[in-house]
Chains A and B, each alone.
Chain A
């Protein structure tokens, strides 16, 4: 039973609220997942700590070598950001494909991460970008590589009773780098993906020098197709290299059959198709 709904004005104050309720308070941002979990009884809380009015958690900025996105920045804000569109297109495309406009106007990038679903669109894009997630507690703050952030379906390294996510950061893409996001679903909005793929590639002198291929949901956490990435590195930027990498991704991905998403066989086939399409677009082939 929720007894209190609090609006702290700083991260410190939010952490105080969590401490005061000794584990019985929950952070709420957009609430597009949490409100449902509260209604269905999957989550219980005595207090909700709303972080969307904390200025430092909002917005997108460049800081040194990084683009930093505040945890309470909405999917709409990320998708519409000229900076993200220019320097991390994969993330703009991913955020634009979440839920519906109404959900994107409210849901946040931090919430999408903490909910820790293996096919969360923003998490797939951030995995391809090798992003880091800043987790803060009273003891201090730490940057967690996205590859170590997720711990299982619905589980991440954030202790929700005493920690919160302040921001995510990643390096902007350079001129000789590209990215893309592909999503397969039965319709274009308000539906879980059958598969989603985010890729980032870089090249020099006609050869791939950087490759990151993230796929969801083919494992309990966002999946990096490392073998496919290895196939690309050093290979010429060509359709043939992309076909080989897509085949490698097909071989290493292990999707399961799901009534919601389709058969394992179909989804495995489609891994190849989506990875190929994403790589072609990212590399401008």
Chain B
């Protein structure tokens, strides 16, 4: 089985993967990082969003082989020393989660946006999260949370 090495949340990891295994499967089943959720499993709902080399991708349809040498960020990499990341904190403070299943994907989409564009307009926020579906919140609180996080970052 081929071996793939990449930087996962700041640390090099090496893992054996099947040639057509997806990144979401490898993260969840082989590396135990179940914060990345699998929803639709066809790149339509965004629950599996992670960041690869600075770009948000839907890991459920992203071949794991592609991350060789890449920098991968998942929801598990956000909090530092028991301190939640400002985006996570803002999601709590603005009630931006209900059932929570879509939340890691939203937070990763938000992080990809704010890493690149620290002061996004509301339109830019909406564009950045258009690939993430939430059936509970109605999106308003999520947008408010991302705005608040942008102010703190």
* B62 close to A106 (CB less than 8 A): yes
Taken together as a complex, chains A and B put the C-alpha atoms of A103 and B127 apart, in Å, by 13
Q: Is the C-beta of B77 less than 8 angstroms from some C-beta in chain A?
A: no
Closest CB-CB distance, A8 to chain B, in whole Å? 13
* A190 close to B130 (CB less than 8 A): yes
Q: Is the C-beta of A73 less than 8 angstroms from some C-beta in chain B?
A: no
* A38 close to B57 (CB less than 8 A): no
Beta-carbon nearest neighbor of B65 in chain A: A5
Most B C-beta atoms less than 10 A away, residue of A35, A36, A100, A188: A100
Cβ contact of A35, chosen from B61, B128, B130, B133, cutoff 8 A: B61
Q: A36-B43, A101-B130 are in contact. Are A48 and B61 (CB under 8 A)?
A: no
Cβ contact of A105, chosen from B57, B65, B133, cutoff 8 A: B57
The tally of CB-CB contacts under 8 A between chains A and B is: 78
Q: A31-B61, A36-B61 are in contact. Are A102 and B20 (CB under 8 A)?
A: no
Closest CB-CB distance, B23 to chain A, in whole Å? 11
Q: Is the C-beta of A52 less than 8 angstroms from some C-beta in chain B?
A: yes
Taken together as a complex, chains A and B put the C-alpha atoms of A38 and B63 apart, in Å, by 11
Mark out the residues of chain A between 180 and 234 whose CB falls within 8 Å of any chain B CB in the assembled complex. 188-190
- Could you say which residues of chain A place their CB within 8 Å of the CB of B22? 35
* B131 close to A103 (CB less than 8 A): yes
* B43 close to A4 (CB less than 8 A): no
- Could you say which residues of chain A place their CB within 8 Å of the CB of B103? none
Q: How many residues of B contact A (CB 8 A)?
A: 28
* B128 close to A101 (CB less than 8 A): yes
Taken together as a complex, chains A and B put the C-alpha atoms of A80 and B114 apart, in Å, by 17
Cβ contact of A102, chosen from B2, B49, B63, B65, cutoff 8 A: B49
Q: A4-B19, A36-B43 are in contact. Are A100 and B130 (CB under 8 A)?
A: yes
Taken together as a complex, chains A and B put the C-alpha atoms of A189 and B45 apart, in Å, by 11
Q: How many residues of A contact B (CB 8 A)?
A: 27
Beta-carbon nearest neighbor of B50 in chain A: A102
Q: Is the C-beta of B30 less than 8 angstroms from some C-beta in chain A?
A: no
Closest CB-CB distance, A268 to chain B, in whole Å? 28
* B63 close to A28 (CB less than 8 A): yes
* A5 close to B46 (CB less than 8 A): no
* A102 close to B19 (CB less than 8 A): no
- Could you say which residues of chain B place their CB within 8 Å of the CB of A5? 2, 19-20, 63, 65
Beta-carbon nearest neighbor of A36 in chain B: B42
Q: Is the C-beta of B44 less than 8 angstroms from some C-beta in chain A?
A: yes
Mark out the residues of chain B between 37 and 68 whose CB falls within 8 Å of any chain A CB in the assembled complex. 41-44, 46, 49, 55-58, 61-63, 65-66, 68
Taken together as a complex, chains A and B put the C-alpha atoms of A100 and B44 apart, in Å, by 8
* B43 close to A38 (CB less than 8 A): no
Q: A5-B65, A52-B66, A106-B62 are in contact. Are A99 and B131 (CB under 8 A)?
A: yes
- Could you say which residues of chain A place their CB within 8 Å of the CB of B68? 7
- Could you say which residues of chain B place their CB within 8 Å of the CB of A39? 41-42
Q: A5-B20, A32-B43 are in contact. Are A102 and B66 (CB under 8 A)?
A: no
* B65 close to A32 (CB less than 8 A): no
Chain B residues packing against A (C-beta within 8 Å): 2, 18-20, 22, 41-44, 46, 49, 55-58, 61-63, 65-66, 68, 109, 127-128, 130-133
